[in-house]
Amino acid sequence: TARVCACVLAVSGRQGMGLTIHEVAAQAELRVNEVQQALWRVCKVNGVRLVRNQANVDALLHRVCDSIQLTYQRGAVCTAASRLVGIANDGWVATGRAWSFVVCAALALALRAYHFAISCEEVGKAIYVRPVTIKRRVIEIKRILVSLCRVLPWGHLVDLSNVHVYLLFVLDYYDVIKPAVQELRQQAAGDPCRCCDDRANPAPIQ
């Protein structure tokens, strides 16, 4: 049974169905580690690699939205969550980890940004995962968002408690903010005093 679950999981990823190992294990009434071991064997023997592309992310997001019965602003919430998953990937939050927790955390943050009172417990229940790890991923994604806001003139106002208020702004201008953050970090690494000097002695306006 575990081997069948592993095959279903591997094929579902290639079909863009977004199934998670916790869902498959729960439906088969197996422990997650049993399915993990079977999946490792199937992938090793057949040279199969799990696919976790955008289609899988979208499918998982919509399935969770079905579970929590989200209809109003569903498209906007899923779009924001999908972009947050991309930011989490850029920040190495998802590397070497179960991707389902990252997707759930992104959805929880997107729901908060759109003023929906839906907890991590409700989101996790949809795919049979515990909320503790989801909350940890939420904190990690929040830290990335806060660090992105630091380069802005009002960045000192943003912290972990209120970053959801600025979340949609960061998503809209992420392509602009990200290069600015990288450039400032390179400047700080090359000359730690450069940023301070520039602020103390701004260039004259011509």
Task: Report pTM.
Answer: 0.86
In whole angstroms, what is the distance from residue 64 CA to residue 165 CA?
23
141/88 same-domain check:
yes
Q: Which two tokens stand for residue 105?
A: 């955390």
What would the DSSP string read from start to end of 120-167? Answer: HHHHHHTTT--HHHHHHHHHHHHHHHHHHHTTSTTGGG--TTTGGGSH
CA distance 117 to 175: 29
Question: Based on the domain organization, do 18 and 95 belong to the same domain?
Answer: no
Q: Quick one: 105 and 74 in the same domain?
A: yes
Looking at the structure, tell me whether residues 30 and 83 fall in a common domain: no
For residue 107, being part of any structural domain is answered with: yes
Q: Select from 97, 57, 78, 86 the least CA-distant residue to 148.
A: 86
Same domain (yes/no): 42, 98? no
In a domain, 194, yes or no: no
Same domain for 114 and 13: no
Residue 57 lies in a domain: no
Q: Judge if 36 and 90 occupy the same domain.
A: no
Same domain, 93 and 157: yes
How many domains in the chain? 2
Q: What is the pLDDT along the chain (206 residues), one digit of tens a residue?
A: 899 999 999 999 999 999 999 999 999 999 999 999 999 999 989 888 888 899 999 999 999 999 999 999 999 999 999 999 999 999 999 888 889 999 999 999 999 999 999 999 999 999 999 999 999 999 999 999 999 998 888 889 999 999 999 999 999 999 988 888 878 777 777 755 554 444 444 444 44
| Domain coverage including residue 77 | 69-189
